[in-house]
Chains A and B, each alone.
Chain A
Amino acid sequence: MANMKLSHMSHWKTVPYKQIDNFRDFYYEDKTNMAYYQDWDRILRYHKATGYDGIELAPWDMAEILGLFGTPEEYTAFAKERGIEVSGMFHGADDSQILEKHDEVLQAAKENIDLLERFGGKHLNMCPARNYCAAGPLSDDDLKVAAGVINEIGEYALAHGIQVGLHNEFFCAVNKENHRRFLEMTDPKSVFYCLDTAQIALMGDNLLDFYDTYADRICTFHLKDTASTGEPDEIRHGMDPEIVDDGWRWFWEPGEGILPLEELWKLVKKHDFKGWVTIEDDGAPDYLAAMALSSYYFNEVLGKIYR
């Protein structure tokens, strides 16, 4: 029995069809690979075929998903027929550092928790506050306000069978200078951590030390690689740093960057981690290839250390 289940974060943008039954005719319209990327039926089958157990959904896709499937339960059943579970969903707790927005922030999170529960997901991976350029720098009082509402969100989530995992991004207001402190300000009983391996390295924190220190808080992973570490303030605090003008990629498939992922997995084994690991390949030019590369690395390289 494996200790970990492998999921894939859905960065496929809008998938416009539920299922294409006239696949051959559709292909012949253009005779390119475009027909291969347009329906959930095939995309979910690609997940299964490349070794994934689950998919993590994106909230920005919900309008189209619910338009195509009607209900979350219908989507989940459709995915299950193809051997895929919904592992979780991302959520942006925008403005969580603003006391006056407390009710609004809490309500938005509750709505996504309710939605995720209907999808059968277990992880709400949540980014506190906004990007640094919009909300930073955060004072200790700001952090306390954010921690307060996130604790409430965490309690609500737990009552619905879901774990809230704080999710760090290298350009967010919760950043290198305060993200450990912020994690410690939240309640360990109800707020957990989704360790995005590339983001934490880009921030300039030590991936191995961070995991070893906070292993008991880490409920899931966003596993990805990077060839950039310790980005300076002018990048992390800058405007719109996520998409770079010249096409520079912050993120690579595990094994294609420079992170000590095999060392990390020895620690993962040491701490006896059990749960979902999600491959996140945002920025990849071909998600199908990236999924296959990542799955191979997870199973054949990291899996030899711990699976």
Chain B
Amino acid sequence: MKTVFSTEMVDLDRQAPNRNKRESKYFWDELYPLIAAGRFQSIEIPYEPKWDFGGRSGIPRTMRSIQMKFETPEGYTKHLAEMGITSVGCVHLDSALFCAGAPEMYLGALGHFAEEAIEFTKGLKCPVLTITTTPPVYAVKNLLKSREDFSEDLLIEKLAELITDINQKATDAGITLCVKNTYWGLFRGEGIFDFLEKLPDTVKLDVDTAHLAIAGVSPAEFVKKAGNRIGMVHFTDTAFEDNQEAYAQPLPEFPAKAATKVFRDIGDGNVEFTSIVTALKEVGYDGEICFNCRNSYDMYRSILRTRSYIDRTLVPAGYEE
């Protein structure tokens, strides 16, 4: 399996002391060698066009920012290599970024920026583009609330058509397209399997362990069921049990009735990664495993915690990098 470390650990959306420097290029230039020092040579990049509109080109999460700071994707990968990062293992596009206005606008923006993300992924010679397919339940409800002519079922049909179209473009670019479900999305838990049936076989599944666990699904059993449809795996950890229907709340990552950090550093939650590794080996998966300490409170500790967990727990359990 190929180990990837997600830069989605860098939280740009919530305030915290020293958060603002994350918008400057120097912050990222300091970060890459520290990721490499944790013996991670491959990274995941979330593709987030919203930073273009605020002129935040120091944040390396869009084609525009890469072009402004490095001229070309090749220039960026060369820069990364000089910092010890030899590949980009996954690009992630979250469709929730575009959930505003009318459903037609949402679908149009998703299609437009997915094409941009494909170019970005291709330019970085990255093998996988993964799309979080639906926005949160609450956001979808808001999107459709004044549209009696546009049901949730219709939205799902349109999404399936759009993902099929995006997949063709990704395939033409030599990229594997994956779809990812979240515990707050329309296809939570095993609901993603129904959606997969609407898509071509070449669209693969991205297994995100914490999202599955919170939705009440065993990630190991899910892996066995998904089998060779798996195209990407995200190892995320959590100790959260959703006994307050957080999945349907306005900000589902921040459960309103009892605050908690839903996504923990790898090894700090309850997800049984060793059994997931065993299940992945059983189904013959040998692709990327992306370790994601999403929205970390302490990024440098997250890098080291993840490396420590891999070395001390996963490798003895049979994980091979």
Chain A positions near chain B (C-beta within 8 angstroms): 11-18, 20-23, 25-26, 29-30, 32-35, 37-39, 63-64, 67-68, 131, 171, 239-247, 282-288
Candidates A22, A68, A131, A284; contact of B258 at CB < 8 Å: A22
Contact assessment for A240 and B18 in the assembled complex, using a CB-CB cutoff below 8 Å: no
Name the B residues within 8 Å of A14 (CB-CB). 13-15
Interface hits, B7-58 → A, CB 8 Å: 12-21, 23-27, 55-58
Candidates A30, A247, A282; contact of B27 at CB < 8 Å: A247
Contact assessment for A286 and B17 in the assembled complex, using a CB-CB cutoff below 8 Å: yes
Contact assessment for B297 and A34 in the assembled complex, using a CB-CB cutoff below 8 Å: yes
Whether, in the assembled complex, B242 has its beta carbon less than 8 Å from a beta carbon of chain A, the answer is: no
Stretch at the interface among B126-134, B156-164, B248-256, B278-286: B248-256
Candidates A11, A13, A21, A245; contact of B25 at CB < 8 Å: A245
Distance, CA A32 to CA B265, complexed state (A): 14
Chain B positions near chain A (C-beta within 8 angstroms): 12-21, 23-27, 55-58, 68-69, 100, 138, 250-251, 253-254, 256, 258-261, 297-298
28 pairs from A and B in contact (CB 8 Å cutoff):
A12-B15, A16-B14, A18-B256, A22-B259, A23-B259, A26-B260, A29-B261, A33-B17, A34-B16, A37-B14, A37-B16, A39-B259, A64-B250, A131-B55, A171-B55, A240-B56, A243-B23, A243-B24, A243-B56, A243-B58, A244-B24, A245-B24, A245-B69, A285-B17, A285-B18, A285-B21, A287-B15, A288-B17
Name the B residues within 8 Å of A286 (CB-CB). 17-18
Name the A residues within 8 Å of B26 (CB-CB). 245-247
Name the B residues within 8 Å of A287 (CB-CB). 15
**Contact A20-B24, Cβ < 8 Å, known A32-B297, A240-B56:** no
Q: Tell me how far the C-beta of B246 lies from the nearest C-beta in chain A, rounded to whole angstroms.
A: 12
B253 nearest CB neighbor, chain A only: A16
Contact assessment for B57 and A239 in the assembled complex, using a CB-CB cutoff below 8 Å: yes
Candidates B20, B27, B100, B298; contact of A284 at CB < 8 Å: B20
Name the A residues within 8 Å of B25 (CB-CB). 245-246
Instruction: A37-B16, A286-B18 given; name 20 further pairs at CB < 8 Å.
Output: A12-B15, A13-B15, A14-B13, A15-B14, A15-B15, A16-B253, A17-B256, A20-B259, A23-B259, A32-B298, A37-B15, A67-B138, A67-B250, A68-B250, A68-B256, A239-B68, A240-B56, A243-B58, A247-B27, A285-B17
Q: Tell me how far the C-beta of B64 lies from the nearest C-beta in chain A, rounded to whole angstroms.
A: 9
Distance, CA A31 to CA B27, complexed state (A): 25
Q: Tell me how far the C-beta of B94 lies from the nearest C-beta in chain A, rounded to whole angstroms.
A: 15
Name the A residues within 8 Å of B254 (CB-CB). 16-17, 38
Distance, CA A251 to CA B20, complexed state (A): 13
In this complex, which of B16, B261, B298 has the most chain A Cβ atoms within 10 angstroms of its Cβ? Answer: B16
Q: Tell me how far the C-beta of B96 lies from the nearest C-beta in chain A, rounded to whole angstroms.
A: 11
Contact assessment for B57 and A240 in the assembled complex, using a CB-CB cutoff below 8 Å: yes
Chain B contact residues, majority secondary structure: loop
Name the B residues within 8 Å of A17 (CB-CB). 251, 254, 256, 259
Name the B residues within 8 Å of A37 (CB-CB). 14-17
Name the A residues within 8 Å of B256 (CB-CB). 17-18, 68
Name the A residues within 8 Å of B18 (CB-CB). 285-286
Contact assessment for B55 and A243 in the assembled complex, using a CB-CB cutoff below 8 Å: yes
Name the A residues within 8 Å of B68 (CB-CB). 239-240
Name the A residues within 8 Å of B251 (CB-CB). 16-17, 64, 67-68
A245 nearest CB neighbor, chain B only: B25
Contact assessment for B260 and A29 in the assembled complex, using a CB-CB cutoff below 8 Å: yes
Distance, CA A26 to CA B68, complexed state (A): 40
Distance, CA A29 to CA B27, complexed state (A): 27
Name the B residues within 8 Å of A131 (CB-CB). 55
In this complex, which of A14, A18, A64, A171 has the most chain B Cβ atoms within 10 angstroms of its Cβ? Answer: A14
Q: Which 4 pairs, one residue from A and one from B, show the smallest C-beta to C-beta distance?
A: A67-B250, A16-B254, A245-B25, A240-B55
Contact assessment for B14 and A247 in the assembled complex, using a CB-CB cutoff below 8 Å: no
Name the B residues within 8 Å of A29 (CB-CB). 260-261
Name the B residues within 8 Å of A282 (CB-CB). 20
Distance, CA A29 to CA B55, complexed state (A): 35
B265 nearest CB neighbor, chain A only: A30
Distance, CA A171 to CA B54, complexed state (A): 12
Q: Tell me how far the C-beta of B34 lies from the nearest C-beta in chain A, rounded to whole angstroms.
A: 17
Contact assessment for A242 and B24 in the assembled complex, using a CB-CB cutoff below 8 Å: no
Distance, CA A296 to CA B298, complexed state (A): 31
B142 nearest CB neighbor, chain A only: A67
Distance, CA A70 to CA B100, complexed state (A): 17
Candidates A13, A23, A242, A247; contact of B21 at CB < 8 Å: A247
Q: Tell me how far the C-beta of A238 lies from the nearest C-beta in chain B, rounded to whole angstroms.
A: 10
Name the B residues within 8 Å of A284 (CB-CB). 20
Distance, CA A287 to CA B19, complexed state (A): 10
Distance, CA A240 to CA B52, complexed state (A): 9
Name the B residues within 8 Å of A240 (CB-CB). 55-58, 68
Distance, CA A21 to CA B298, complexed state (A): 24
A67 nearest CB neighbor, chain B only: B250
A249 nearest CB neighbor, chain B only: B20
A27 nearest CB neighbor, chain B only: B259
**Contact A26-B259, Cβ < 8 Å, known A15-B15, A285-B17:** yes
B254 nearest CB neighbor, chain A only: A16
